[in-house]
Amino acid sequence: MAELTYRDAVAAGIAQEMERDQNVVFLGEDVAHAGGVFKATVGLIERFGPLRVRDCPISEQAIIGAAMGAAMTGLRPIAEIMFSDFFAVCWDMIANEIAKARYMTNGQMAMPLVIRTANGGGSRFGAQHSQSVENWAMMIPGLKVVAPAFPADVKGLLAAAVRDPDPVIFFEQKSLYSLKGEVPDGEYVDELGKAKVLRHGKDCTIVALAAMVHRALEAAEVLEREHGISCTVVDVRSLVPLDTQTILSEVAKTGRLVTVEENPRLCGWGAEIASIVADECFWELDGPIIRITTPHVPLPSADLLEDHTMPSAERIVRELRAKLD
């Protein structure tokens, strides 16, 4: 195992798949010689050359249009949209064309492409560059949606996404890029649609995604050490496909569900999980479902305001103490 940062795991996952399959190509803004605006693609242009690693104009529509055409004609493109907020610029092609191609052609056409993007807050980029929009993608039939929390998951899930025959939206939480962790050497491929239970407890099940996984784990440690509240923590990892079996199983064991979501509360992914849990294991619940989310507001850029708005470990501890004691 090698210790890599989250950003280096991105480059490692892309390089693994480009080395394995000559049909894998990579395109986006500043992804070649600049190594990406977040330095997550350093070294790829030197290794694979300008035909397979392409810098694009500042046009999200051009990037997605080129990737869509490439996928239609037999390549397996990886396209980078610099900030997930910019999906709004090219959403028609993603939601109405890429997501619908297999259905509209009665399965005659596959759309094997990955759209990578930096998602979420915590880096002081302001309201137009800090949104957590995984729920935008989750609601579109035909798209798979992945959001890893650890470097090893970045490499393994990115490889699985590239090999998948369907379009995958791959959300990289930008405040995690410097996070370090052990990553398997050599070829490593994970499985889409599998959550991970990172911690076992008896009093409640916390379900979290991306950066919120780390805050949930920190809160769980404090809750057990200082307040005697024992929490299971589940890293969802993949919203589509969603591992309902793991989530329902862990909720049934503890009798309580808590979701920790970076996306705004209204129509967040946790609302869907809460609905599934209420439908499937209502009689196993010992109390109301708790959702801890960002409020339904644009994310501030001022550091104190941004930190106050996003769910923190301290807030998770405070809310669970109030509702579980």
Residues taking part in catalysis: 129
Distance CA 261, CA 271 (A): 10
In the three-class reduction of DSSP (H, G, I as helix; E, B as strand; rest coil), residue 112 is classed as coil
Q: How far is CA 319 from CA 259, 273, 276, in A?
A: 12, 19, 22
Q: Which of 172, 173, 182, 111 is nearest to 152 (CA)?
A: 182
Burial of 76 by CB count in 10 Å (0-12 exposed, 13-18 middle, 19+ buried)?
buried
The dihedrals phi and psi of 265, each to the nearest 5 degrees, come to -60, -40
Beta-bridge mates of residue 2: 183
Helix axes 211-227, 313-324, angle to 10 degrees: 50
In the three-class reduction of DSSP (H, G, I as helix; E, B as strand; rest coil), residue 98 is classed as helix
Q: Which two tokens stand for residue 176?
A: 């995690």
Q: Which of 310, 254, 295 is nearest to 277 (CA)?
A: 254
Distance CA 240, CA 95 (A): 15
Cα 269–chain centre separation: 12
